[in-house]
Amino acid sequence: DQQVKQNSPSLSVQEGRISILNCDYTNSMFDYFLWYKKYPAEGPTFLISISSIKDKNEDGRFTVFLNKSAKHLSLHIVPSQPGDSAVYFCAASGRGDYKLSFGAGTTVTVRA
C-alpha cells in the first residue's frame, strides 16, 4: 500500500529553467514532509522539509509547497543547474508514528 506517490518517474529540464517535482499522499495523518536527493552510488541526502502548519518553505533555490486539502506537495528548483541531476524522493511521516514513508522517486536530468 503506497501512501506516498510520485507519479512522474523522470523529468528533463534545461539548465536555468524551473524544475517542478510533484508528490501526492493518501494518509491524512501525515503532517511532516521531506525531500531527499540521491546521486548514483550514494545514499539519499536531506534537501528540505515542511510541516503541515505551513504551506511553503524556501531554502535558496529550493521551495516546497504543501496543499493539505489536495494532499499534494511540490518541490520547485529555480534555476535548475547540472548538479541538480539526481533522483528526488518525497517522504512523509505522521503524528505519533515518525516512521518515514518514501515515494518511488523522480529522476531529474538537467540539460546544458
Interaction between residue 32 and other proteins (CB under 8 A): yes
- Pick the closer one to other proteins by CB: 42 or 112: 42
SS3 84: helix
CB of 74 to other proteins, least distance (A): 17
Which of the residues 47 through 86 are near other proteins (CB under 8 A)? none
Q: What 3 state SS string does 11-79 have?
A: EEEECCCCEEEEEEECCCCEEEEEEEEECCCCCCEEEEEEECCCCEEEECCEEEEEECCCCEEEEEECC
Instruction: Candidates 1, 28, 41, 60: give the one binding other proteins (CB under 8 A).
Output: 41
Interaction between residue 10 and other proteins (CB under 8 A): no
